[in-house]
Amino acid sequence: MIGKLLGNRYEILEPLGGGGMAIIYKGRDNYLNRIVTIKILRPEFTCDEDFVKRFHREAQAVASLSHPNIVSIYDVGKEEKVHYLVMEYVKGDNLKNLIRKDGVLTPERAVEIARQVSEALQHAHENNIVHRDVKPQNILITREGRVKLTDFGIAREATTATLTQTDAVVGSVHYLSPEQARGETAGPQSDIYSLGTVLYEMVTGVLPFQGDTPIGVALKHIREDPPRPSKLNPAVKRGLENIITRAMSKLPADRYKSAQLMATELEALSLPGKVPGDRKEIVAADKFATTVIPVVGSGEEGLQHQEEINTGKYRYVWLWVSLLVLGLMAAGIVAFYLYVNVPEIKLPSVEGKTLAEARDVLQGLGLENIQVSKNSHPTVPADRIISQDPPPDTRIKVTRNVVLSVSQGPEYRTVPHVIGLTLSAARIEINKNELNVAGIDKQYNHDYPEEVVFNQDPGGDFKLPKGSGVVLYVSKGPQPVIRQVPDLTGFTLDEAGKELDKLNLILDDENAGGAASTSYFSGQVIAQNPAGGAEVEEGTAVQVTVSSGPGPSRRLARVKVDIPDDRRKHELSIVVQDAKGSNEVYFGTHAPGKKVIKEVPYYGSAYVKVYIDKELVGEQSFE
């Protein structure tokens, strides 16, 4: 594969590694002159059409992600039977190699790596994409220390094969969530479990579960709890251990509700006095539990005095409680009376009005509890009412809340520059900016290769409402030259080839057919496709059928010529045009007034022309 050019653009430079699903290469984008990573699907998966379709569809979906901690996908394509992805090239190494090299990562470094992966997963989950194969091999660390999560797409389809395929795929079983091990659908909490397992490995240097077979490891994920990280590495503090334990909970509901919550707790580890992951309830202090009651007197006198004080105190408490209950009952009766007697109105429609106009209309009807919710909208102008709750024509009391959704106008997105990109790469860039391809106009263009965008409307840096469309003008390559196919009947293959070369057409002599013919000699063209006179593009191949004989029989034509009687000699020429072509069969000089009779041979049908002194004086056809 080294040196191979994919899509007439991406040159494969050197291998970088591979896994159970794909082989990874370092490559160069010759069009944009940048280094890229090229992932090529292994041949055994290209035979499964459903898998290939899902592979391309998933790649398109993941390409819509745009996050500093996720490796970007630039292009997806197919060259013959080779299916490939073109991705951002990351200078650095994967986390698995880092763990092998260092053994155990410091808790601070492990926390920072896990935090960045959590944020990458949060972005993916918000876009309804679950990674399903979070493991150190899919976490890249740049030379500057930035984390890049990769291998979206293929992992989604690898779930069912994880326990049974090659060693590279089997390795994934060490990071499977219990629900994945049971064959259930993986969700965002499955990625959180896998990340917890990766964090466990970073701070302990070992995997939480190991076994002789993949099935054995999977069963441990379902049934067993791993050793506490602090037992393997005393440097792991309680806060970090709590985070790992919660992320690796057997039940998805017991894990973090989102990757962002996990990222927040990881970040909190750097704050003094915080113990993330410790979910003990905070009990409010009871003031009576800390009050010191002084001893009044002593002996029986003291006890009696204290009893009298308590009895009096309780009497006053009951009095105040009774008054409070009566007051609440009275207030309830008044409130009920006021509520029942509040006037009702029929709510008018204020949709489409400005906020000020809507307020005037509603307040004019006695409505005062007006709440405003501002939202973007692609068509409703700014400061206009999008909708109202309750809806128009609803009968409500004037004390009820009315919520108005007010437009902030459309959200705008910047149109990317896509001229010079392939059509598939341009789609990806436009989708990343939350815009759509509204139309594709394919035209001939001499300056850009086929399937490359040569113009766009609107142009790059133009602002459009979110979800708007961009029209792409895509090259069909140079404008083809139209030629008229010559009639090759009677030509030999060599003659036919030379005739077609003059017009930049091609003789398909490898597929030339043969057929018996009594009209044409062996080796002569008797039929062709396209037919003579047809208009085709330059470079079109013309297929011919050649005679295999026996050809036409020899015949004789009797030609009579009267030489002019003008006292001078004259030159006589007889030309025969037949299956052998056009040939002069007689030439001679004759006295004036002489009658010349000649029998001339011909093959098939013939056309005989007579010339005297090079001037045509007669012609006749013969069958």
Catalytic residues: 133
Residue 354 DSSP symbol: B
Contacts with 162 (C-beta within 8 Å, 6 or more apart), sequence order? 169, 170, 172, 173, 176, 180, 214
Residue 330 DSSP symbol: H
C-alpha to C-alpha distance for 509 and 543, rounded to whole angstroms: 7
Contacts with 600 (C-beta within 8 Å, 6 or more apart), sequence order? 556, 557, 559, 574, 576, 585, 586, 608
Nearest to 158 by CA among 177, 178, 132, 139: 132
C-alpha to C-alpha distance for 386 and 373, rounded to whole angstroms: 10
Helix 259-268 vs helix 107-126: angle between axes, to the nearest 10 degrees? 150
Given a contact cutoff of 8 angstroms between Cβ atoms, the answer to whether 547 and 520 are in contact is yes
Q: Which residue in this structure is represented by tokens 């370092």?
A: 26
C-alpha to C-alpha distance for 613 and 595, rounded to whole angstroms: 16
3-state secondary structure of 509: helix
Q: Bridge partners of 355?
A: none
Given a contact cutoff of 8 angstroms between Cβ atoms, the answer to whether 486 and 454 are in contact is no
Nearest to 241 by CA among 105, 107, 99, 106: 107
The encoded tokens of residue 618 equal 């007669």
CA dist 519 to 488, 548, 552, 558, Å?
14, 11, 5, 21
3-state secondary structure of 243: helix
Given a contact cutoff of 8 angstroms between Cβ atoms, the answer to whether 35 and 28 are in contact is yes
The set of long-range contacts for 217-224, using a CB threshold of 8 Å and a minimum separation of 24, is 217/173, 217/174, 218/163, 218/173, 218/176, 218/181, 219/181, 221/176, 221/177, 221/178, 221/181, 222/178, 222/181, 222/182, 222/250
Which of 469-482 are b and which e, b meaning 16 or more Cβ less than 10 Å from the residue's Cβ?
ebebbbbeeeeeee
Element housing 603 (H / E):
strand 595-603
